[in-house]
Amino acid sequence: MSNAYSKDLERWLPRLISVWRASRGREDGPEGRLTPQEVKEVGAGVKQLSLGLTRERQLAGARYMDDPRLLGAYLLFYWPVSYAQARQVLGELPNRPRHVLDLGSGPGPVAFAAMDAGASEVTAADRSKPALNLARELATEAGEALATREWDPLKKNATLPEGQYDLITMGHVVNELYGATDEALKPRAALLESVLTKVKKGGSLLVMEPALRETSRNLLKVRDLLVERGYAIRAPCMYRGACPALVKETDWCHAERAWPMPRVVEELARVAGFHKESLKMSYLLVAPKGEPWPEPPPGRLFRIVSESLEGKGRQRYIGCGPEGRVGLAMQERHRSEKNEKFFHLQRGDVIEATDLETKGDGFALGENAEVRMVAQAGRGVPPAPKPPEAPREPAAPVPPAKP
């Protein structure tokens, strides 16, 4: 996460703590940090949420945000995490959004991330009244205007808020809808299709999910259903066919970003008994129906979709690009100024590589290989340059008027 994102998030932390204390009927406490007793209390809620949403999954789809203790745990731990994740992904948008709708907003981490990323009008929509109340209180604390709406996708005849939007976000929502079996995939895809009708031309739908194997693979399966129905993916995919990460049951695709963890998050993670050194999430940016896939710049491009797989005398990653999902490896002896970047790549970076030789499950980069950074993780891939316009034919001379 860049320093700008960190500074924005640091401004939110005292507000989160203040709103949480007010919701619990507490006035006293150190500004911007929790007391040891508060850390212990909230940490127990964080642990319960983590077990219920990532391991046992019994809270997925439940109305856990109506429980004050769990909502408070979400506000102080998962809110900063979701905010930081959203700021990372929003950096890949082709255009800065003005009008944003955040569906399944909870207390608004993604909504406020969009606001801080430059949106001028943001609407947060959720089925939990307590969560929307906290979102409004946070907006008041921050001196920002935030519209709120009630929205429950599981309610019969549920309707989306009126209007058209440059960006619609759904952060950690879709995986909790319609159950946990493959039968949930089609209604999830149908919901996203209905949401996409509310996205303006040139706009995007952002779907962000947990980086678990199950939730990530299910998002990719929904992606394939949308691609089959003619939708283009703006990011992270450059491959236009069925997702190659689904071929093997052991594979999945997720993003991972380093970030300076806020003190509150670090304390709560420690008490809850788990580590949170990096941001991990799976995401899609989907274009509305009828818009083409982005044309990448020329060259053989690959997005790095694995951590470093360094071995004896070589560096290796898994890459995915217009050619599909492949291994990319280079021997240490072929290292040079022209390919030095290959030895320092992060998951999510997009590179152009030359001098590729087919080998094993992908390509080996040879001794003359050049590696160019096309887009760092969290930044959009620049579009292909437009072809130069053909010179216009000179206009024919106008004959003089007859006397």
Residues 210 and 240 in one domain: yes
Check: pTM over 0.95? Answer yes or no.
no
Residues 173 and 322 in one domain: no
Residues 95 and 240 in one domain: yes
pLDDT tens readout for residues 121-165: 999 999 999 999 999 999 999 999 999 999 999 998 889 999 999
Domains of the chain: total: 2
Residues 369 and 264 in one domain: no
Residues 180 and 61 in one domain: yes
Nearest to 22 by CA among 68, 84, 80, 54: 68
Domain assignment present for 401 = no
Average confidence (pLDDT) over 205-214: 95
Domain assignment present for 398 = no
As a whole number of angstroms, the distance between CA 303 and CA 59 comes to 34
Domain assignment present for 279 = yes
In this prediction, residue 1 carries a pLDDT of 43
Residues 195 and 68 in one domain: yes
Residues 236 and 132 in one domain: yes
**Tokens, residue 61:** 């789809």
Residues 309 and 276 in one domain: no
Residues 77 and 185 in one domain: yes
Residues 273 and 357 in one domain: no
Last residue of a domain, which of 253, 286, 319? 286
Domain assignment present for 16 = yes
Examine the pLDDT at 117 and tell me if it is beyond 50.
yes
* Exposure of 362 in the CB half-sphere (CA atoms within 13 A): 22
Residues 38 and 79 in one domain: yes
Q: The domain containing residue 61 runs over which residues?
A: 5-286
8 Å CB contact between 225 and 189: yes
In this prediction, residue 273 carries a pLDDT of 86
8 Å CB contact between 282 and 253: yes
Domain assignment present for 389 = no
259 vs 141, more confident: 141
Domain assignment present for 403 = no
Last residue of a domain, which of 255, 286, 317? 286
Average confidence (pLDDT) over 6-30: 91
CATH assignment at residue 360: 2.40.50.1010
* Exposure of 398 in the CB half-sphere (CA atoms within 13 A): 3
CATH assignment at residue 91: 3.40.50.150
Domain assignment present for 260 = yes
Q: What share of the chain is helix, strand, coil (3-state, %, to 5)?
A: 35, 20, 45
Examine the pLDDT at 2 and tell me if it is beyond 60.
no
Dump the DSSP string for 176-237: GSS-SSGGGHHHHHHHHHHHHTTEEEEEEEEEEE---HHHHHHHHHHHHHHHHTTPPEEES-
Average confidence (pLDDT) over 231-240: 97
8 Å CB contact between 266 and 357: no
Q: How confident is the model at residue 241 (pLDDT cuts 50, 70, 90)?
A: very high
Determine how many CB atoms are found less than 10 A away from the CB of residue 60.
18
Q: How confident is the model at residue 394 (pLDDT cuts 50, 70, 90)?
A: low
Domain assignment present for 320 = yes
Query: Which residues, 6 or more positions from 301, have their beta carbon under 8 angstroms from its beta carbon?
Result: 238, 321, 322, 350, 351, 352, 374, 381
Q: How confident is the model at residue 399 (pLDDT cuts 50, 70, 90)?
A: low
Query: Which residues, 6 or more positions from 402, have their beta carbon under 8 angstroms from its beta carbon?
Result: none
Residues 142 and 250 in one domain: yes
